[in-house]
Chains A and B, each alone.
Chain A
Amino acid sequence: MTTNETLIKVESLEKAFGEIQVLKGITTDIKKGEVVVVIGPSGSGKSTFLRTLNLLEEPTGGKIYFEGTDITDPQVNINLHRQKMGMVFQQFNLFPHMTVLKNMTIGPIKLQGISKKEAEKRALALLERVGLADRADAYPSQLSGGQKQRVAIVRALCMQPEVMLFDEPTSALDPEMVGEVLDVMKSLANEGMTMVVVTHEMGFAREVADRVIFIDEGIIMEENTPDELFSNPKSSRLQDFLGKVI
Protein backbone atom coordinates (compact mmCIF):
# COMPACT_ATOMS: atom_id res chain seq x y z
CA MET A 1 0.00 0.00 0.00
CA THR A 2 3.02 2.24 0.38
CA THR A 3 3.05 5.17 -2.02
CA ASN A 4 5.84 7.50 -2.98
CA GLU A 5 4.22 10.50 -1.39
CA THR A 6 5.92 11.49 1.88
CA LEU A 7 3.45 12.21 4.66
CA ILE A 8 5.82 12.83 7.55
CA LYS A 9 9.39 13.88 7.10
CA VAL A 10 11.60 13.77 10.17
CA GLU A 11 14.93 15.57 10.05
CA SER A 12 17.64 15.08 12.70
CA LEU A 13 15.07 15.08 15.46
CA GLU A 14 16.38 15.61 18.96
CA LYS A 15 14.72 15.58 22.35
CA ALA A 16 16.29 16.19 25.72
CA PHE A 17 14.65 16.06 29.12
CA GLY A 18 16.89 18.40 31.09
CA GLU A 19 20.38 16.95 30.89
CA ILE A 20 19.26 13.63 29.46
CA GLN A 21 19.41 13.41 25.68
CA VAL A 22 16.71 10.89 24.71
CA LEU A 23 16.64 11.35 20.93
CA LYS A 24 19.98 12.07 19.33
CA GLY A 25 19.13 12.92 15.76
CA ILE A 26 16.52 10.81 14.03
CA THR A 27 15.93 11.17 10.32
CA THR A 28 13.32 9.22 8.44
CA ASP A 29 10.45 9.59 5.98
CA ILE A 30 7.04 8.08 6.46
CA LYS A 31 5.21 7.54 3.20
CA LYS A 32 1.50 7.74 2.74
CA GLY A 33 -0.03 4.32 3.31
CA GLU A 34 3.08 2.95 4.92
CA VAL A 35 2.97 0.90 8.12
CA VAL A 36 6.08 1.59 10.17
CA VAL A 37 6.71 -0.41 13.30
CA VAL A 38 9.17 0.99 15.83
CA ILE A 39 10.90 -1.49 18.12
CA GLY A 40 13.65 -1.15 20.67
CA PRO A 41 14.57 -1.82 24.30
CA SER A 42 12.76 0.14 26.99
CA GLY A 43 14.27 3.53 27.54
CA SER A 44 15.57 3.57 23.98
CA GLY A 45 13.46 6.61 23.07
CA LYS A 46 10.94 4.89 20.80
CA SER A 47 7.88 6.20 22.66
CA THR A 48 9.40 9.66 22.87
CA PHE A 49 10.00 9.53 19.12
CA LEU A 50 6.34 8.73 18.51
CA ARG A 51 5.15 11.43 20.88
CA THR A 52 7.26 14.08 19.23
CA LEU A 53 5.57 13.34 15.89
CA ASN A 54 2.43 15.16 17.03
CA LEU A 55 4.38 17.40 19.38
CA LEU A 56 3.04 15.93 22.61
CA GLU A 57 6.72 16.12 23.40
CA GLU A 58 8.29 19.24 22.03
CA PRO A 59 11.50 18.45 20.15
CA THR A 60 14.62 20.25 21.31
CA GLY A 61 16.19 20.04 17.86
CA GLY A 62 15.49 19.06 14.27
CA LYS A 63 12.36 19.40 12.20
CA ILE A 64 9.16 17.50 11.50
CA TYR A 65 7.29 18.12 8.27
CA PHE A 66 3.70 16.91 8.13
CA GLU A 67 2.14 17.18 4.67
CA GLY A 68 4.95 19.57 3.80
CA THR A 69 4.45 21.92 6.74
CA ASP A 70 7.14 22.28 9.38
CA ILE A 71 5.06 21.65 12.50
CA THR A 72 7.95 22.41 14.84
CA ASP A 73 7.65 26.06 13.79
CA PRO A 74 6.04 27.90 16.76
CA GLN A 75 3.97 29.96 14.29
CA VAL A 76 2.15 26.84 13.07
CA ASN A 77 -1.18 26.04 14.74
CA ILE A 78 -0.39 22.52 15.89
CA ASN A 79 -4.01 21.86 16.91
CA LEU A 80 -5.08 21.81 13.25
CA HIS A 81 -2.40 19.26 12.38
CA ARG A 82 -3.14 17.10 15.40
CA GLN A 83 -6.68 16.67 14.10
CA LYS A 84 -5.16 14.73 11.21
CA MET A 85 -2.87 12.63 13.41
CA GLY A 86 -4.83 10.11 15.43
CA MET A 87 -3.13 8.86 18.55
CA VAL A 88 -3.70 5.70 20.58
CA PHE A 89 -2.13 5.41 24.02
CA GLN A 90 -0.94 2.49 26.08
CA GLN A 91 -3.35 3.47 28.87
CA PHE A 92 -6.31 4.06 26.48
CA ASN A 93 -7.03 7.49 28.00
CA LEU A 94 -10.73 7.35 27.26
CA PHE A 95 -12.70 10.15 28.87
CA PRO A 96 -14.34 8.45 31.88
CA HIS A 97 -17.17 10.97 32.23
CA MET A 98 -18.47 10.39 28.70
CA THR A 99 -20.16 7.45 27.04
CA VAL A 100 -18.38 5.60 24.25
CA LEU A 101 -20.39 7.52 21.67
CA LYS A 102 -19.63 10.88 23.28
CA ASN A 103 -15.94 9.97 23.53
CA MET A 104 -15.93 9.50 19.77
CA THR A 105 -18.11 12.39 18.69
CA ILE A 106 -16.85 15.23 20.87
CA GLY A 107 -13.83 15.80 18.62
CA PRO A 108 -15.67 15.86 15.28
CA ILE A 109 -18.51 17.98 16.70
CA LYS A 110 -16.40 20.58 18.47
CA LEU A 111 -13.44 20.70 16.09
CA GLN A 112 -14.75 19.85 12.64
CA GLY A 113 -18.08 21.54 13.11
CA ILE A 114 -20.18 18.62 11.86
CA SER A 115 -23.64 18.01 13.25
CA LYS A 116 -24.25 15.69 16.20
CA LYS A 117 -26.33 13.43 14.01
CA GLU A 118 -23.67 13.10 11.35
CA ALA A 119 -20.94 12.56 13.96
CA GLU A 120 -22.97 9.81 15.61
CA LYS A 121 -23.57 8.15 12.28
CA ARG A 122 -19.85 8.18 11.62
CA ALA A 123 -19.12 6.86 15.12
CA LEU A 124 -21.68 4.06 14.94
CA ALA A 125 -20.34 2.87 11.61
CA LEU A 126 -16.87 2.67 13.14
CA LEU A 127 -18.15 0.91 16.26
CA GLU A 128 -19.92 -1.57 14.01
CA ARG A 129 -16.62 -2.29 12.32
CA VAL A 130 -14.86 -3.15 15.57
CA GLY A 131 -17.84 -5.10 16.88
CA LEU A 132 -18.82 -2.68 19.63
CA ALA A 133 -21.97 -1.10 18.25
CA ASP A 134 -23.97 -2.41 21.22
CA ARG A 135 -21.63 -0.64 23.65
CA ALA A 136 -22.22 2.87 22.30
CA ASP A 137 -23.99 4.03 25.45
CA ALA A 138 -21.63 2.36 27.90
CA TYR A 139 -19.16 4.29 30.01
CA PRO A 140 -15.46 3.36 29.71
CA SER A 141 -15.44 1.85 33.21
CA GLN A 142 -17.94 -0.75 31.99
CA LEU A 143 -15.62 -2.02 29.25
CA SER A 144 -12.82 -4.58 29.28
CA GLY A 145 -9.29 -3.49 28.44
CA GLY A 146 -9.50 -4.79 24.90
CA GLN A 147 -12.81 -3.05 24.35
CA LYS A 148 -11.40 0.19 25.75
CA GLN A 149 -8.48 0.09 23.37
CA ARG A 150 -10.74 -0.65 20.40
CA VAL A 151 -12.85 2.34 21.38
CA ALA A 152 -9.70 4.45 21.70
CA ILE A 153 -8.75 3.44 18.15
CA VAL A 154 -12.13 4.30 16.66
CA ARG A 155 -12.23 7.54 18.65
CA ALA A 156 -9.07 8.57 16.84
CA LEU A 157 -10.46 7.29 13.52
CA CYS A 158 -13.64 9.30 14.00
CA MET A 159 -11.57 12.42 13.29
CA GLN A 160 -10.74 10.86 9.90
CA PRO A 161 -6.98 11.30 10.35
CA GLU A 162 -4.25 10.97 7.73
CA VAL A 163 -2.01 8.95 10.00
CA MET A 164 -2.47 6.88 13.15
CA LEU A 165 0.15 6.85 15.88
CA PHE A 166 0.11 3.86 18.25
CA ASP A 167 2.07 4.07 21.49
CA GLU A 168 2.40 0.49 22.76
CA PRO A 169 -1.32 -0.13 22.26
CA THR A 170 -1.31 -3.67 23.64
CA SER A 171 1.19 -3.35 26.50
CA ALA A 172 -1.42 -2.65 29.18
CA LEU A 173 -3.75 -5.46 28.08
CA ASP A 174 -4.29 -8.90 29.48
CA PRO A 175 -2.79 -11.44 27.07
CA GLU A 176 -6.15 -12.78 25.91
CA MET A 177 -7.19 -9.31 24.78
CA VAL A 178 -4.14 -8.48 22.72
CA GLY A 179 -5.47 -10.34 19.69
CA GLU A 180 -8.69 -8.36 19.31
CA VAL A 181 -6.79 -5.07 19.29
CA LEU A 182 -4.14 -6.30 16.85
CA ASP A 183 -6.90 -7.55 14.54
CA VAL A 184 -8.37 -4.06 14.37
CA MET A 185 -4.95 -2.63 13.63
CA LYS A 186 -4.32 -5.22 10.93
CA SER A 187 -7.55 -4.44 9.14
CA LEU A 188 -6.71 -0.76 9.37
CA ALA A 189 -3.33 -1.42 7.79
CA ASN A 190 -4.93 -3.45 5.03
CA GLU A 191 -7.17 -0.53 4.17
CA GLY A 192 -4.16 1.61 3.50
CA MET A 193 -4.02 3.73 6.64
CA THR A 194 -0.63 5.25 7.33
CA MET A 195 0.47 3.92 10.69
CA VAL A 196 3.40 4.39 13.03
CA VAL A 197 3.31 1.73 15.72
CA VAL A 198 5.54 1.43 18.76
CA THR A 199 5.13 -2.13 20.00
CA HIS A 200 6.70 -5.20 21.49
CA GLU A 201 4.51 -7.47 19.35
CA MET A 202 7.13 -8.89 16.98
CA GLY A 203 4.54 -11.13 15.31
CA PHE A 204 2.54 -8.06 14.36
CA ALA A 205 5.64 -6.30 13.06
CA ARG A 206 6.58 -9.28 10.94
CA GLU A 207 3.11 -9.71 9.51
CA VAL A 208 1.89 -6.16 9.00
CA ALA A 209 4.82 -3.76 8.82
CA ASP A 210 6.18 -2.39 5.56
CA ARG A 211 9.24 -1.26 7.44
CA VAL A 212 10.63 -1.87 10.89
CA ILE A 213 12.75 0.72 12.67
CA PHE A 214 15.01 -0.39 15.50
CA ILE A 215 15.73 2.50 17.83
CA ASP A 216 18.37 2.22 20.50
CA GLU A 217 20.12 4.88 22.57
CA GLY A 218 18.20 7.60 20.81
CA ILE A 219 19.16 6.83 17.22
CA ILE A 220 17.89 4.57 14.46
CA MET A 221 20.30 1.67 14.73
CA GLU A 222 18.80 -0.28 11.89
CA GLU A 223 15.77 -0.17 9.62
CA ASN A 224 14.59 -2.57 7.01
CA THR A 225 11.69 -4.65 5.77
CA PRO A 226 10.50 -6.98 8.51
CA ASP A 227 11.78 -10.08 6.69
CA GLU A 228 15.29 -8.71 6.32
CA LEU A 229 15.43 -7.13 9.75
CA PHE A 230 14.27 -10.18 11.67
CA SER A 231 16.08 -12.86 9.69
CA ASN A 232 19.25 -10.93 9.03
CA PRO A 233 19.95 -8.39 11.80
CA LYS A 234 23.19 -6.57 11.13
CA SER A 235 24.05 -4.68 14.32
CA SER A 236 24.98 -6.60 17.45
CA ARG A 237 22.53 -4.48 19.46
CA LEU A 238 19.64 -5.67 17.33
CA GLN A 239 20.85 -9.27 17.49
CA ASP A 240 20.95 -8.97 21.29
CA PHE A 241 17.53 -7.41 21.40
CA LEU A 242 15.90 -9.96 19.11
CA GLY A 243 17.56 -12.74 21.08
CA LYS A 244 15.76 -11.48 24.17
CA VAL A 245 12.31 -10.83 22.77
CA ILE A 246 11.79 -13.64 20.30
Chain B
Amino acid sequence: MKEWFQEISDEFVLNFIKDNRWEWIVEGLKNTLIITFFATLIGIAIGIIIATVRSTYDKNYETMKKHKSLGFYVLSFFNFVCKLYLTVIRGTPVVVQLLIMYFIILSFSNDEATIAIITFGINSGAYVAEIFRSGVMSIDKGQFEAGRSLGFNYIQTMIFIVVPQMFKIVLPTLCNEFIVLLKETSIAGYVGIVDLTKAGDLIRGRTFSAFMPLIAVAIIYLVLVMLFTWLVGKLERRLRNSDH
Protein backbone atom coordinates (compact mmCIF):
# COMPACT_ATOMS: atom_id res chain seq x y z
CA MET B 1 0.00 0.00 0.00
CA LYS B 2 2.77 2.34 0.99
CA GLU B 3 4.69 1.53 -2.15
CA TRP B 4 1.63 2.19 -4.26
CA PHE B 5 1.11 5.52 -2.61
CA GLN B 6 4.77 6.42 -3.08
CA GLU B 7 4.49 5.56 -6.77
CA ILE B 8 1.43 7.79 -7.21
CA SER B 9 3.12 10.60 -5.40
CA ASP B 10 6.26 10.30 -7.55
CA GLU B 11 4.15 10.29 -10.68
CA PHE B 12 2.34 13.40 -9.52
CA VAL B 13 5.57 15.25 -8.81
CA LEU B 14 7.07 14.19 -12.12
CA ASN B 15 4.06 15.25 -14.18
CA PHE B 16 2.91 18.41 -12.48
CA ILE B 17 5.48 19.78 -10.03
CA LYS B 18 8.83 19.18 -11.71
CA ASP B 19 9.84 22.03 -14.07
CA ASN B 20 6.57 23.72 -13.12
CA ARG B 21 4.67 21.53 -15.58
CA TRP B 22 1.35 22.42 -13.94
CA GLU B 23 1.70 25.79 -15.61
CA TRP B 24 1.00 24.12 -18.96
CA ILE B 25 -2.25 22.79 -17.63
CA VAL B 26 -3.21 26.25 -16.41
CA GLU B 27 -2.20 27.82 -19.70
CA GLY B 28 -4.12 25.13 -21.62
CA LEU B 29 -7.20 25.56 -19.46
CA LYS B 30 -7.07 29.32 -20.00
CA ASN B 31 -6.91 28.88 -23.77
CA THR B 32 -9.73 26.33 -23.76
CA LEU B 33 -11.95 28.67 -21.76
CA ILE B 34 -11.13 31.71 -23.92
CA ILE B 35 -11.81 29.86 -27.15
CA THR B 36 -15.04 28.34 -25.82
CA PHE B 37 -16.31 31.63 -24.42
CA PHE B 38 -15.79 33.74 -27.53
CA ALA B 39 -16.85 30.96 -29.88
CA THR B 40 -20.07 30.72 -27.85
CA LEU B 41 -20.72 34.44 -28.30
CA ILE B 42 -20.12 34.23 -32.04
CA GLY B 43 -22.23 31.08 -32.22
CA ILE B 44 -25.19 32.73 -30.50
CA ALA B 45 -24.91 35.85 -32.66
CA ILE B 46 -24.80 33.83 -35.88
CA GLY B 47 -27.51 31.53 -34.56
CA ILE B 48 -29.90 34.42 -33.88
CA ILE B 49 -29.36 35.95 -37.32
CA ILE B 50 -29.75 32.67 -39.21
CA ALA B 51 -32.73 31.53 -37.16
CA THR B 52 -34.43 34.91 -37.69
CA VAL B 53 -34.01 34.72 -41.46
CA ARG B 54 -35.06 31.08 -41.64
CA SER B 55 -38.12 31.28 -39.43
CA THR B 56 -39.26 34.58 -40.94
CA TYR B 57 -39.04 32.89 -44.30
CA ASP B 58 -40.88 29.79 -43.11
CA LYS B 59 -43.65 31.77 -41.41
CA ASN B 60 -44.24 34.30 -44.17
CA TYR B 61 -43.45 32.32 -47.29
CA GLU B 62 -47.10 31.63 -48.13
CA THR B 63 -48.31 35.22 -47.85
CA MET B 64 -45.25 36.80 -49.41
CA LYS B 65 -45.31 34.45 -52.38
CA LYS B 66 -48.59 35.98 -53.46
CA HIS B 67 -47.36 39.57 -53.52
CA LYS B 68 -43.90 38.82 -54.92
CA SER B 69 -42.56 42.11 -53.60
CA LEU B 70 -38.87 42.99 -53.50
CA GLY B 71 -38.79 41.89 -49.86
CA PHE B 72 -39.78 38.39 -50.92
CA TYR B 73 -36.78 38.06 -53.25
CA VAL B 74 -34.37 39.55 -50.70
CA LEU B 75 -35.65 37.17 -48.03
CA SER B 76 -35.50 34.20 -50.40
CA PHE B 77 -31.91 35.06 -51.26
CA PHE B 78 -30.84 35.30 -47.61
CA ASN B 79 -32.71 32.12 -46.82
CA PHE B 80 -30.79 30.37 -49.57
CA VAL B 81 -27.46 31.67 -48.22
CA CYS B 82 -28.37 30.47 -44.72
CA LYS B 83 -29.34 27.03 -45.96
CA LEU B 84 -26.07 26.76 -47.86
CA TYR B 85 -24.14 27.72 -44.72
CA LEU B 86 -26.01 25.16 -42.62
CA THR B 87 -25.44 22.42 -45.17
CA VAL B 88 -21.71 23.04 -45.53
CA ILE B 89 -20.97 23.52 -41.84
CA ARG B 90 -23.05 20.61 -40.62
CA GLY B 91 -21.88 18.40 -43.45
CA THR B 92 -18.14 18.59 -42.79
CA PRO B 93 -16.08 17.66 -39.71
CA VAL B 94 -15.00 20.54 -37.52
CA VAL B 95 -11.37 19.35 -37.64
CA VAL B 96 -11.40 19.73 -41.40
CA GLN B 97 -12.98 23.19 -41.03
CA LEU B 98 -10.25 24.18 -38.58
CA LEU B 99 -7.49 22.97 -40.89
CA ILE B 100 -9.05 24.75 -43.88
CA MET B 101 -9.30 27.96 -41.89
CA TYR B 102 -5.74 27.67 -40.61
CA PHE B 103 -3.98 26.60 -43.80
CA ILE B 104 -6.15 28.22 -46.48
CA ILE B 105 -8.68 30.90 -45.62
CA LEU B 106 -6.89 32.59 -42.72
CA SER B 107 -3.37 31.43 -43.60
CA PHE B 108 -2.14 35.05 -43.50
CA SER B 109 -2.83 35.19 -39.76
CA ASN B 110 -0.44 34.00 -37.07
CA ASP B 111 -2.99 34.28 -34.31
CA GLU B 112 -4.02 30.66 -33.83
CA ALA B 113 -6.39 31.37 -30.96
CA THR B 114 -8.41 33.83 -33.03
CA ILE B 115 -8.56 31.37 -35.90
CA ALA B 116 -9.86 28.74 -33.51
CA ILE B 117 -12.43 31.14 -32.05
CA ILE B 118 -13.72 32.05 -35.52
CA THR B 119 -13.84 28.43 -36.66
CA PHE B 120 -15.63 27.13 -33.59
CA GLY B 121 -17.95 30.15 -33.56
CA ILE B 122 -18.98 29.62 -37.17
CA ASN B 123 -19.39 25.91 -36.56
CA SER B 124 -21.45 26.33 -33.43
CA GLY B 125 -23.62 29.01 -35.08
CA ALA B 126 -25.04 26.44 -37.46
CA TYR B 127 -26.23 24.21 -34.65
CA VAL B 128 -27.46 27.07 -32.47
CA ALA B 129 -29.43 28.44 -35.44
CA GLU B 130 -31.33 25.20 -35.84
CA ILE B 131 -31.93 24.99 -32.09
CA PHE B 132 -33.44 28.50 -32.09
CA ARG B 133 -35.45 27.84 -35.22
CA SER B 134 -36.97 24.65 -33.87
CA GLY B 135 -37.76 26.59 -30.68
CA VAL B 136 -39.57 29.32 -32.59
CA MET B 137 -41.49 26.79 -34.64
CA SER B 138 -42.56 24.94 -31.50
CA ILE B 139 -44.36 27.97 -30.05
CA ASP B 140 -48.11 27.63 -30.53
CA LYS B 141 -49.44 29.57 -33.51
CA GLY B 142 -52.06 31.08 -31.21
CA GLN B 143 -49.37 33.00 -29.32
CA PHE B 144 -48.30 34.61 -32.53
CA GLU B 145 -51.88 35.42 -33.52
CA ALA B 146 -52.64 36.88 -30.10
CA GLY B 147 -49.64 39.18 -30.42
CA ARG B 148 -50.55 40.27 -33.93
CA SER B 149 -54.21 40.80 -33.02
CA LEU B 150 -53.18 43.23 -30.27
CA GLY B 151 -51.48 45.26 -32.97
CA PHE B 152 -47.85 44.19 -32.58
CA ASN B 153 -45.95 43.90 -35.84
CA TYR B 154 -44.03 40.77 -36.75
CA ILE B 155 -40.77 41.81 -35.07
CA GLN B 156 -42.44 43.09 -31.87
CA THR B 157 -44.41 39.85 -31.60
CA MET B 158 -41.17 37.92 -31.91
CA ILE B 159 -39.30 40.00 -29.33
CA PHE B 160 -42.01 40.34 -26.67
CA ILE B 161 -43.92 37.11 -27.02
CA VAL B 162 -42.26 34.36 -29.03
CA VAL B 163 -38.55 34.63 -28.18
CA PRO B 164 -38.89 34.71 -24.36
CA GLN B 165 -40.96 31.52 -24.51
CA MET B 166 -38.67 29.98 -27.09
CA PHE B 167 -35.60 30.64 -24.96
CA LYS B 168 -37.04 28.70 -22.06
CA ILE B 169 -37.82 25.73 -24.28
CA VAL B 170 -34.43 25.57 -25.98
CA LEU B 171 -32.30 26.19 -22.89
CA PRO B 172 -31.49 22.51 -22.18
CA THR B 173 -30.63 21.85 -25.83
CA LEU B 174 -28.59 25.03 -26.01
CA CYS B 175 -26.72 24.00 -22.86
CA ASN B 176 -25.98 20.68 -24.49
CA GLU B 177 -24.58 22.45 -27.54
CA PHE B 178 -22.13 24.42 -25.39
CA ILE B 179 -20.99 21.31 -23.57
CA VAL B 180 -20.27 19.78 -26.97
CA LEU B 181 -18.46 22.96 -28.01
CA LEU B 182 -16.29 22.99 -24.89
CA LYS B 183 -15.17 19.45 -25.55
CA GLU B 184 -14.82 20.00 -29.28
CA THR B 185 -12.18 22.68 -28.70
CA SER B 186 -9.89 19.82 -27.70
CA ILE B 187 -8.95 19.52 -31.37
CA ALA B 188 -7.35 22.97 -31.28
CA GLY B 189 -4.00 21.23 -30.82
CA TYR B 190 -4.18 20.32 -34.51
CA VAL B 191 -3.15 23.86 -35.42
CA GLY B 192 -0.57 24.29 -32.68
CA ILE B 193 -2.71 25.83 -29.96
CA VAL B 194 -1.88 24.70 -26.44
CA ASP B 195 -5.36 24.06 -25.13
CA LEU B 196 -6.13 21.83 -22.17
CA THR B 197 -5.90 18.58 -24.14
CA LYS B 198 -2.70 19.61 -25.87
CA ALA B 199 -1.18 20.64 -22.54
CA GLY B 200 -1.82 17.20 -21.09
CA ASP B 201 -0.40 15.58 -24.18
CA LEU B 202 2.72 17.77 -24.06
CA ILE B 203 3.37 16.71 -20.49
CA ARG B 204 2.89 13.09 -21.49
CA GLY B 205 5.47 13.59 -24.25
CA ARG B 206 8.01 14.94 -21.78
CA THR B 207 7.50 12.52 -18.92
CA PHE B 208 6.60 9.40 -20.92
CA SER B 209 3.91 8.85 -18.33
CA ALA B 210 0.41 8.96 -19.79
CA PHE B 211 -1.85 8.19 -16.86
CA MET B 212 -1.53 11.29 -14.68
CA PRO B 213 -1.70 14.11 -17.25
CA LEU B 214 -4.47 12.58 -19.34
CA ILE B 215 -6.63 11.64 -16.37
CA ALA B 216 -6.08 15.11 -14.92
CA VAL B 217 -7.23 16.69 -18.19
CA ALA B 218 -10.29 14.45 -18.29
CA ILE B 219 -11.20 15.38 -14.73
CA ILE B 220 -10.90 19.10 -15.47
CA TYR B 221 -13.24 18.78 -18.48
CA LEU B 222 -15.67 16.79 -16.38
CA VAL B 223 -15.68 19.36 -13.58
CA LEU B 224 -16.19 22.21 -16.07
CA VAL B 225 -19.16 20.45 -17.66
CA MET B 226 -20.68 19.60 -14.28
CA LEU B 227 -20.27 23.19 -13.11
CA PHE B 228 -21.88 24.51 -16.28
CA THR B 229 -24.76 22.02 -16.08
CA TRP B 230 -25.38 23.06 -12.49
CA LEU B 231 -25.48 26.74 -13.42
CA VAL B 232 -27.89 26.15 -16.30
CA GLY B 233 -30.05 24.03 -14.01
CA LYS B 234 -30.33 26.96 -11.63
CA LEU B 235 -31.25 29.31 -14.48
CA GLU B 236 -33.85 26.84 -15.73
CA ARG B 237 -35.52 26.67 -12.33
CA ARG B 238 -35.63 30.45 -12.19
CA LEU B 239 -37.26 30.68 -15.61
CA ARG B 240 -39.76 28.01 -14.72
CA ASN B 241 -41.48 30.14 -12.12
CA SER B 242 -44.25 31.00 -14.61
CA ASP B 243 -45.49 27.44 -15.06
CA HIS B 244 -46.67 25.81 -11.91
Contacts and interface: CB of A to CB of B under 8 A. Distances in A.
Interface of A: 54, 56, 58, 74, 79-80, 82-83, 85-87, 89, 91, 93-98, 106-107, 110-111, 139, 141-142, 155-156, 159
Given A95-B143, A139-B243, A79 B153 contact: yes
DSSP majority for the B interface? helix
B110 interface: no
A98 B156 CA distance: 15
Interface stretch (B160-168, B196-204, B227-235): B160-168
A110 B152 contact: yes
A93 B151 contact: no
A170 B180 CA distance: 47
Given A93-B142, A107-B151, A58 B63 contact: yes
B238 interface: no
Contacts of B142: 89, 91, 93
Interface in B189-243: 242-243
A111 B149 contact: no
Interface residues of B, number: 24
Contacts of B21: none
Contacts of B165: 95-97
A97 B168 CA distance: 9
Contacts of B67: 74
Which one of B149, B152, B164 has the greatest number of beta carbons of chain A within 10 Å? B149
A34 to B, nearest CB: 20
Nearest to A58: B63
Given A82-B149, A107-B150, A139-B243, 4 more contacts: A58-B66, A82-B148, A83-B150, A95-B161
B236 to A, nearest CB: 14
Interface string B127-165: 000000000000010110111111111001000110011
A80 B244 CA distance: 35
B160 A106 contact: yes
Contacts of B149: 54, 56, 82, 85-87, 156
5 contacts: A83-B151, A87-B146, A95-B147, A107-B150, A156-B150
Contact of A111 (B143, B146, B152, B243): B152
Given A79-B153, A139-B243, A139-B244, A110 B148 contact: no
A94 B142 CA distance: 9
A89 B142 CA distance: 8
Contact of A56 (B145, B153, B244): B145
Contacts of A111: 150-152
Nearest to A103: B146
A156 B147 CA distance: 11
B242 A139 contact: yes
A93 B152 contact: no
Given A80-B151, A82-B151, A96 B243 contact: yes
